[in-house]
Structure 1
């Protein structure tokens, strides 16, 4: 009887396992078709002079030409500068807004979260058109009107090497904080109230609570947002493509835009594939260092 019961239990577990594999089969097929296969194909293409009707194996020539390309290294520098200038400020602004929203009533929190998240679901092309209007070099442009109030002359914000990168950075500072604000706000709501009560008994002020309770409690959230923000910043494409096209004089050419141009403008698919893999490696190394040096005392 015991053996028969064991066999029935084993058969039931096997059936459950089969159903489990069946349920995840769709996800595995989608992953294989749209993630694994493109990555493997890009790796193979990176060693070829790719042509739709016949490719030639050229070894590491695409990688060698990439590493000898001044434009590639300039795009790396532009991307690093853009990341260093945008990510810390964006996280600080998102954190500050979340702190300001936290004491409000629930319905007001919901209203502000919806307002700040709205640009995330809006069309990036539409938002870029709005920013093109803001940066209009004519006196009608909002930025030129603003600096005109202080007696400054009109500036060609997107058409000069002096201001083009700064314009993209300001655009990043003032937009698309919705997701980070909501994540920070959820983490703030998860902090145990007893910590604040103990701090009140000790006579701690707002800044002391912020530094000794809030900041340490939000380390996992901050690390997550930092890693994802850096990854997104290194992959930035839309802003540079729609606002400046990488110009002037490649002052705003990011790595993502360079890969796009090589693939769909110059039809050098092998070089574009090699550069995309190099970019993926750079992002992986940076993420590894972030987890290693910033995540030492982070508890999940």
Structure 2
């Protein structure tokens, strides 16, 4: 009995798995290293921290305590104080920073290319510096003596020197002021790129229809900049929820917990009081808050964006 050629060819042909690895094996080999790094240094720590939030953590032997850490967290007055401070900082800085960033970008866009390049480089330069460096500079600016730049500014108007970072009613405002007066460079670059991508034909058509400058701005410029604004809003919210360096270097969360943010509280709980289980619970509460706020922003703001 002879075997048909089709059967012989089928027996000799490699299996689907073998053929798949012949075609794509090198590609998976190339991405193996970053995938392993992601699993070891991101996925594994997240899973470990999640399990740790249900434990009374101890290096030698941890004890499973269920939801006790979450219960302690929700009944902690300092935790709610830190949440309030974080909310005030976020609401007080993100919208203001976006307005300042957009205003500066809009003014720079009206300039000639050489001046645009100069101001883009100048305003972007502070973002290259580390947060530690900027915090130390602002710490000198807020010096409570008359040598501090902020107090010198007050002296011009005949006002007494202010202990900017040493009073509960001004400490958080001082950190917010630091955010308002810096860190606009990246947003300016994005806005300028988005403005340059708007078709000139739209403005030409508006000129033919005798549209005013405000009409062109409200009907053309602003709607087409909404994707960039949404991006800056989401990233700004995430960054403000995690504000830490300036608090750590300038106020240490004081005075009287006036500048204790949730990120600083997590650090203090973990590395000052060594309560890693409670710190993990606080971390996942912060992560959940960031996810919820981001989803809400995309749900209610992205639907109105014109591309």
TM-score, normalization: structure 2?
A: 0.92
Q: 2:47 aligns with which of 22, 40, 43?
A: 40
Are positions 1:84 and 2:91 aligned together? yes
Q: 1:136 aligns with which of 143, 150, 165?
A: 143
- Cα distance, 1:131 vs structure 2: 0.6
Q: 2:165 aligns with which of 132, 139, 158?
A: 158
Q: Which residue of 2 aligns with 1:198?
A: 205
Are positions 1:208 and 2:221 aligned together? no
- Cα distance, 1:190 vs structure 2: 0.8
CA–CA separation in structure 2 for the residues paired with 1:97 and 1:16:
51
Q: 1:110 to 1:34 in 2, by over 3 A?
A: farther
Residue 293 of structure 2 aligns to a residue whose secondary structure is helix
Ranges in structure 2 where 5+ consecutive residues have no aligned partner: none
Q: Which residue of 2 aligns with 1:188?
A: 195
CA–CA separation in structure 2 for the residues paired with 1:286 and 1:18:
40
CA–CA separation in structure 2 for the residues paired with 1:12 and 1:221:
44
CA–CA separation in structure 1 for the residues paired with 2:65 and 2:231:
40
Aligned residues: 297
Deviations 1:256-293 (A, max 9, x none): 00000000000001000110001000110111111111
RMSD (Å), alpha carbons: 2.0
- Cα distance, 1:196 vs structure 2: 0.9
TM-score, normalization: structure 1?
A: 0.94
Deviations 1:80-106 (A, max 9, x none): 000000000101111111111213333
Q: Which residue of 1 aligns with 2:108?
A: 101
Deviations 1:167-186 (A, max 9, x none): 01100001111111111111
Q: Which residue of 2 aligns with 1:110?
A: 117
Question: Is the radius of gyration larger for structure 1 or structure 2?
Answer: 2
CA–CA separation in structure 1 for the residues paired with 2:58 and 2:116:
54
- Cα distance, 1:22 vs structure 2: 2.1
Q: Which residue of 2 aligns with 1:229?
A: 236
Deviations 1:119-178 (A, max 9, x none): 111122121111111111101111111111111111100000111111011000011111
Ranges in structure 1 where 5+ consecutive residues have no aligned partner: none
- Cα distance, 1:110 vs structure 2: 2.4
